[in-house]
Structure 1
Amino acid sequence: MATKKQIILPIIVIAAGLGGYATFASMKKPPEEKAVVDNTPVVSVQVIEKRPMVFSVNSYGIVNAKYETELVSQVSGEITFLSDAFVRGGFVKKGDILAKIDPSDYEAALIDAEASLASARATLVQEKAYGKVAAEEWKRIKDGVPTELSLRKPQLAQELAKLNSSEAGLKRAKRNLERTMIKAPYDALIENRNIGLGSYVSMGTQLGNLLSTEVAEIRLPLADKEIRYLNNKGIGSTVTITGNFAGQQQQWQGNIVRSEGVIDNKSRMTYLVAEVSDPYGLSSPKNELRYGSYITATIQGNEAEDVTTVARHLIIDDKVAILDQDNKLKYQTVNIVRQQGTKVVISDGLEDGMKIITSALDYPIEGMKLALPEMDSTPDDPEPTQLAMDEKE
């Protein structure tokens, strides 16, 4: 039979354990509540602003002279004079004498032609007198009928033909004498000279090359799809020429004057021709647009109203992601009128004030809630004023 001590002792131990547990339990702090974390994706946006835009088309080309002339000798002889300006790179004016061919033979030929003409005129006068005498004699004969030969009409016609031939010979002699002086046909730049003083040239000898300095021409290749952005297929459009002069980038203004009208077999491009007046600045002070220069050209095109530009990578299947008024994701269908490098021009589908999402989303779902950077705040963070007061205390 259990004694009183055996019964009381376990009760005391159990009571002491319960008391210790209660004491420790009362000392334990309750778990702190964690702040609510907002997992709404934060996005950056671009606010749409529609405005008019003037399209432009870019191209490239090489500057050439509008007129290029190969000087050729039209008579034979020795070169007796060369102008100081008749050198490679020299500038000459229209009518300037570039070279002279020995005129001695052609001056003698002119004297012969003048003598032949004077003789033909005298013979014609004499033949006309013979004809009048013959006509008077036939008037005295009553029973006879004169023939053309008896009236010396064939002889008169022959002398008239000789006179005409002599006049033609005189013109030829004068022309050949004039051709001994080689003149510039227009204001030009000497590209090269193939003769020297004392050289003998014959008819057809190449003397040199001239490049007109009045107007420069540039052939500008364009893809066929680009022509739709130009007024009147580009004819009459203003073009800005950009190139280098003296180590610095310079610009010149020109105009598109014509289209070559065919598509190149190799490049499959259409060529427009631009003209720039006074490329070497001879008539007005400006930088030289030198022949042979490689340039880029910007052709002014037609105007579009109420369009906007967006980065090309934001457009997927003609749709763009926007942030609607409820800060939710929405896909908007747009109409793309042109691509310009890394951007596209949109005419329809977007309105002023719309917000295009420009940042990437991991798992985009239309209608999902989104937030802007300025909307992303932590409500449990103390206000700056409260922080300052705590630090002061």
Structure 2
Amino acid sequence: MPALPLLSLSSPGRAGRRQRGRFTLGALLAVLVLAAGAAGAWWLVSQPPRIERRAPVEPPAPLVDTVLAQRQAAAPSLHGFGRVIAEREAHLASRVSGELLEFTDAALPGRVVEAGSVLARLDDADLRLALREAEAALAQAEAALAMERGEQQRAETEYRSFGRELSAERRALVLRQPQLHQAEAEVERARAARDRARLELERATLTAPWRGMVQSRLLGSGSMVNNGTELLHLVDVSRFWIRVSLPGEALGWLHAADANGAGSGVTLSTRTWPGGETRRGEVIAILPALEEQGLQAQLLVAVDDPLGLDNGAAALRLGDMVRLEFEARPQDDLFVLPAAALRPGDELWLLDEEERLRRRTVSVIHRGETRVLIADGLEDGERVVTSQLGQPRTGMRLRSRIADSERPAGERRESRS
């Protein structure tokens, strides 16, 4: 027989009440969990952050280079550039008129001629004739003077035989003294004319007034020249000059030659000399006018035997650009520092005993390309900072490299070995 379904003993009302009880308990637990989370979050948010404080780490002090300040005798390094010019040159001109016959072999441009050397000859035929005429006129005047002296002797004899005394004026007329003076004057005039004709004949031959080099010929043979026509350009080879410009402050370190002694020495060099050869010169003058463009002082430097004709040295040519190194007079009690040590406003950075930066203004008497000379504002043994700093502050801590100049003498020798 078929099985009969079992009847549930529980009623619908009891089951509903059991479901409602579980829902209420779960909701309560959820609310409690949310409330606890909100309370915890509020507590975390309300609490200030706790940061563990640590002692700040001091950055390492910058490492700088220093030099020791020491008083010593020093002079600046003065140099400049100058152009070579001739101390003495001449444009030899004809002093008579005539035809230029020839230049001698000595008058070739570039040759050195001695004083008195014949350089050119002019046609002197007319001058020789003029000299002969002058000599004849002189002979005629001398003959007339001799005849007049004879007449004077005859007049004097007659005056004595007359036996009467005359006044001085009448006696001079009787003795023919005016005629005698006139004859003597004619002789002097004729002699001067003879000497002038002889001098013009000598001037028809052009000679060198001093030892020099022929720079150029200005005319050719066969040219007709007048008195004053230039024929040759001659340059003295015994000495050349160099005109150089320097700042005005450099004059205090140099001196020009005078009766008491020689001027400051100068070393000359130029690119045209092989093997770095140099020449010696001397400051002979400080010119009164300033250079027009840079308003710098101008000096003259003299170089003896510039072409090296006697000493065999490198030749110094006219117009060449030369570099000059001057030997300045040293001064005592100066501080010599690298140029990098000087800061704007003539200020130095010093490193004190506590390894801290100090600033000091000093008195600078020379600023060079590589070094500066300081007169006051430092003491012996102070350390001067030569390195650059990004943000220098007075009192900031620094570290100094032990420069070789700061080591004791014994340690310097050991370090080199």
Query: CA separation in 2, counterparts of 1:167 and 1:370?
Result: 98
Contact 1:47 1:353 in 2 (8 A): no
Which among 55, 70, 73 is matched to residue 94 of structure 2? Answer: 73
Matched residue, 1:107: 128
For the Cα contact (< 8 Å) 2:257–2:284, is it kept in 1? Answer: no
User: Computing the radius of gyration over CA atoms, which structure comes out larger, 1 or 2?
Assistant: 2
Whichever residue aligns with residue 288 of structure 2, its letter is G
Shift of 1:197: 2.6
Task: Please tell me whether the aligned partners of residues 56 and 229 of structure 1 are also in contact (alpha carbons under 8 angstroms).
Answer: no
Distance 1:206 1:87 in 2: 16
2:205 equivalent among 174, 177, 181: 181
> How much has 1:366 moved relative to structure 2?
2.3
Aligned to 1:318: 346
Match of 1:47 among 64, 67, 84: 67
CA distance in 2, matches of 1:183, 1:248: 39
Count of residues in Structure 1 that have an aligned counterpart in Structure 2: 341
Partners of 2:292 and 2:180 in 1: how far apart?
Answer: 64
Does structure 2 retain, via aligned residues, the 8 Å contact 1:106–1:173?
yes
Shift of 1:198: 2.6
Q: How is 1:293-308 mapped onto 2 (pairs within 5 angstroms)?
A: 293-306=320-333, 307-308=335-336
Following the alignment from structure 2 to structure 1, what is the Cα–Cα distance between the partners of residues 226 and 232? 14
Aligned residue type for 2:369: G
After superposition, residues 250-289 of structure 1 pair within 5 angstroms as 250-264=277-291, 267-289=294-316
TM superposition score normalised by structure 2: 0.75
Distance in 1, Cα, partners of 2:392 & 2:247: 38
| Change over 3 Å in CA distance of 1:271–1:311 after alignment to 2 | closer
Separation (CA, whole Å) in 1 of partners of 2:113 and 2:318: 16
CA–CA distance in structure 1, aligned partners of residues 308 and 81 of structure 2:
22
Matched, 1:170 2:191: no
Structure-2 residue corresponding to 1:290: 317
Seen in structure 2, the aligned counterparts of structure 1 residues 266 and 328 have a Cα distance that, compared at 3 Å, is closer
Q: What's the secondary structure of 1:189's corresponding residue? A: strand
Distance in 2, Cα, partners of 1:361 & 1:256? 43
Distance apart, 1:136 and its partner CA: 1.2
Report the TM-score, using the length of structure 1 for normalisation: 0.79
Tell me, which stretches of 5 or more residues in structure 1 are unaligned?
A: 1-33, 375-393
Structure 2 equivalent of residue 227 of structure 1:
251
Deviation string 1:17-72 (CA, Å, 9 cap, x unpaired) is xxxxxxxxxxxxxxxxx999652312212222533212343232211111110111
Distance in 2, matches of 1:183 and 1:289, equals 26
Aligned: 1:357 with 2:385: yes
1:292 to 1:337, Cα distance in 2 relative to 1, 3 A? same
| Seq. identity, % | 30
1:183-202 superposed matches below 5 A? 183-202=207-226
Distance 1:263 1:280, change over 3 A: same
Q: Quote the Cα distance in structure 1 between the aligned partners of 2:171 and 2:401.
A: 120
Q: Aligned equivalents of 1:371 and 1:269: distance in 2? A: 43
The letter of the residue matching 2:317 is R
Contact conserved, 1:43 with 1:358, CA < 8 A, in 2? Answer: no
Q: CA RMSD for the aligned pairs?
A: 2.6
Q: Is the 8 A contact 2:283 2:302 kept in 1?
A: yes
Distance 1:284 1:316 in 2: 49
For 1:336, the equivalent position in structure 2 comes to 364
Shift of residue 143 of structure 1? Answer: 4.3
Q: Is the 8 A contact 1:338 1:344 kept in 2?
A: yes
Alignment pair present for 1:64 and 2:85: yes
Secondary structure of 1:134's aligned partner: helix
Q: Structure 1: how far apart are the matches of 2:250 and 2:101?
A: 56
Counterpart Cα distance in 2 of 1:320 and 1:215: 47
SS in 2 for 1:196: coil
Aligned to 2:355: 327
Distance change in 2, residues 1:201/1:43 (3 Å): same
CA 1:143/1:317 → structure 2, altered by over 3 Å: closer, same or farther?
Answer: closer
1:231 positional shift: 3.8
Q: CA deviation at 1:182?
A: 0.7
Distance in structure 2 (CA, Å) of the matches to 1:36 and 1:80: 103
| Residue 344 (structure 1) shift | 2.1
Counterpart Cα distance in 1 of 2:255 and 2:131? 59
Deviations 1:236-256 (A, max 9, x none): 221222223256654211111
Specify which of 209, 212, 218 is matched with residue 233 of structure 2: 209
Q: 2:210, 2:401 → 1: CA distance?
A: 69
Is the contact made by 1:245 and 1:287 (CA closer than 8 Å) also made in structure 2? no
Is the 2:339–2:367 contact (alpha carbons within 8 Å) kept by the matching residues of 1?
A: no
Amino acid at match of 2:231: L
- Say which is worse superposed, 65-74 or 230-239, in terms of deviation: 230-239
3-state SS of 1:163 partner? helix
Runs of 4+ aligned structure 1 residues displaced above 4 Å come to 34-38, 232-235, 246-249, 264-267
